[in-house]
């Protein structure tokens, strides 16, 4: 027969065969697996670093690609915008150049027209001067038989005996036997300013206006003018009756003589003459003819 089990045996058996509490078994397992897990993490660290490095590379490449795409799009947009603006500016520049060319052409045409007008004006001025000269010559020709007697004071307001007084002055001072038949007409001129139609060199309010004597015989008139130097110092002078234009020329030429730019100046048969410092006699037809002497001393 099998021996009977005692309580102690049962308790020993129970204690030996009963399982460990769950907490104890977990701790035991943890203690058993802890070093292995730590070692596994440490051994896997390079793999994690490599994975992160690869991920960073991928992200960098993706970011770079995205950034490059954005930059290219931005550059392309700016290029299109600049191209559009350049096209607009080129169009505006082209239009401005066309307008400028048109203005230059108009300016050139205006210059040509202006030159043409200048030439026409010059031609017209020359013709007018020529006509004035011809008219002046005709007026002077009508006066070439006349003499101006300066210094004869009026004896009355009417001067009814003016002709007899003129004959007396001429004959008593020049002795040429002038008679009334030699004189066509006698009259006193109106008072004029310097260089007026009287042909006087100096006329002022203190001297009487000259007397115009028109002769029937030009030869006698020239003979009287040839002897006019004999009147020097007597307060009476004889001159040709010049037109206003020729009187101005003679006055200007006389100023040149005073300044010694020419030796002398005078009139003869309605012509203005100067003798240069080189002893040449020149006819002066216009003020411009005197310009060649105004720099001489």
Q: Which of 127, 143, 159 is the last residue of a domain?
A: 143
In angstroms, rounded to a whole number, what is the distance separating the alpha carbons of residues 189 and 103? Answer: 61
236 and 274 both lie in a single domain: no
The number of folded domains in the chain is: 3
281 belongs to a structural domain: yes
Please state the φ and ψ torsions of residue 265, each to the nearest 5 degrees.
-145, 140
CA dist 209 and 197 (Å) reads 11
Tell me if 2 is assigned to some domain. no
Q: What is the pTM of this model?
A: 0.55
pLDDT of residue 195: 46
Full strand arrangement of the beta sheet holding 211-215 = 183-188, 211-215, 146-150, 237-240
Say if residue 164 is in the same domain as residue 223: yes
Q: Please give the residue range of the domain that contains residue 297.
A: 244-297
76 occurs within a structural domain: yes
- Domain limit, last residue, from 196, 223, 241: 241
SS3 256: helix
Q: Is residue 177 located within the same domain as residue 231?
A: yes
Instruction: List pLDDT tens digits, range 125-150.
Output: 889 988 988 999 999 999 999 999 99
Contact 291, 262 (CB under 8 A): no
- Regarding whether 258 and 237 lie in a shared domain, the answer is no
* Terminal Cα-to-Cα distance of the chain (whole angstroms): 186
Query: Does residue 267 lie within any of the structural domains?
Result: yes
What is the torsional sign of CA 79, 84, 90, 92? Answer: negative
Q: Give the residue from 224, 241, 258 where a domain finishes.
A: 241
Q: 129 in a domain, yes or no? A: yes
Say if 4 falls within a structural domain: no
Q: Are residues 203 and 265 in the same domain?
A: no
pLDDT of residue 42: 54
Half-sphere exposure of 18 (CA within 13 A, CB side): 9
Do 149 and 193 belong to one domain? yes
Rounded distance between C-alpha atoms, residue 225 and residue 267, angstroms: 11
Contacts made by residues 154-157, CB under 8 angstroms, sequence distance 24+: 154/188, 154/208
Q: State residue 32's pLDDT score.
A: 47
Provide the Cα torsion 48, 50, 55, 57; round to 10°: 160
In-domain check, residue 205:
yes
Residues 137 and 126 in one domain: yes
Inter-residue contact 187 to 211 (CB < 8 Å):
yes
230 in the same domain as 148: yes
**CATH code for the domain of 155:** 3.30.70.1820
CA 61 to chain centre: 69
Tokens of 124: 């017209």
Catalogue the E-assigned strands of 74-231: 146-150, 183-188, 211-215
Q: How far is CA 43 from the centre of its chain?
A: 95
Note whether 74 and 94 are same-domain residues. yes
Residue 249 is predicted with a pLDDT of: 93
Say what the pLDDT of residue 17 is: 44
Inside any domain, residue 226: yes
- Domain shared by 158 and 138, yes or no: no
Same domain, 138 and 156: no
Shared domain for 115 and 163, answered yes or no, is no
* Ranges of the chain whose pLDDT falls below 70: 1-46, 48, 192-205, 295-297
Angle ∠(194,163,245) on CA atoms, nearest 5: 25
CB 235 within 8 A of CB 158: no
pLDDT digit string (tens) for 241-295? 999 999 999 999 999 999 999 999 999 989 999 999 999 999 998 888 898 887 6
Q: Residue 34: which residues within 8 A CB-CB, separation 6 or more? A: none
Give 122-144 as a DSSP string. Answer: HHHHHHHHHHHHHHHHHHHHHHT
Backbone torsions φ then ψ of 146, nearest 5 degrees? -105, 155
């Amino acid at each position: 027969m099998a021996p009977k089990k005692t309580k102690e045996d049962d308790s020993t058996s129970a204690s030996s065969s009963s399982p460990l509490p769950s907490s104890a078994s977990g701790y035991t397992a943890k203690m058993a697996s802890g070093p292995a897990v730590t070692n596994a993490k440490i051994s896997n660290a390079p793999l994690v670093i490599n994975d992160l490095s690869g991920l960073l590379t991928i992200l960098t490449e993706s970011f770079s690609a995205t950034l490059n795409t954005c930059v290219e799009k931005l550059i392309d947009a700016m290029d299109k915008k600049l191209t559009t603006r350049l096209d607009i500016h080129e169009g505006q520049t082209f239009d401005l150049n066309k307008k400028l060319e048109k203005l230059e052409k108009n300016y050139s045409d205006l210059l040509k027209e202006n030159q043409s007008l200048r030439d026409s004006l010059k031609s017209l001025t020359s013709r007018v001067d020529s006509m004035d000269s011809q008219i002046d010559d005709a007026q002077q020709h009508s006066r070439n038989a006349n003499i101006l007697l300066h210094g004869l004071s009026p004896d009355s307001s009417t001067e009814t005996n003016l002709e007899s007084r003129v004959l007396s002055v001429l004959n008593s001072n020049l002795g040429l036997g002038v008679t009334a038949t030699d004189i066509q007409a006698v009259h006193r001129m109106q008072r004029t300013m310097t260089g007026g139609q009287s042909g006087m060199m100096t006329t002022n309010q203190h001297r009487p206006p000259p007397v115009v004597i028109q002769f029937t015989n030009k030869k006698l008139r020239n003979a009287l003018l040839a002897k006019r130097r004999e009147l020097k110092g007597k307060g009476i002078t004889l001159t040709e009756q010049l037109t206003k234009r020729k009187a101005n020329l003679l006055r200007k030429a006389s100023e040149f003589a005073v300044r010694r730019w020419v030796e002398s100046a005078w009139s003869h048969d309605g012509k203005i003459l100067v003798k240069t410092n080189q002893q040449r006699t020149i006819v002066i037809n216009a003020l411009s003819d005197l310009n060649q002497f105004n720099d001489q001393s």
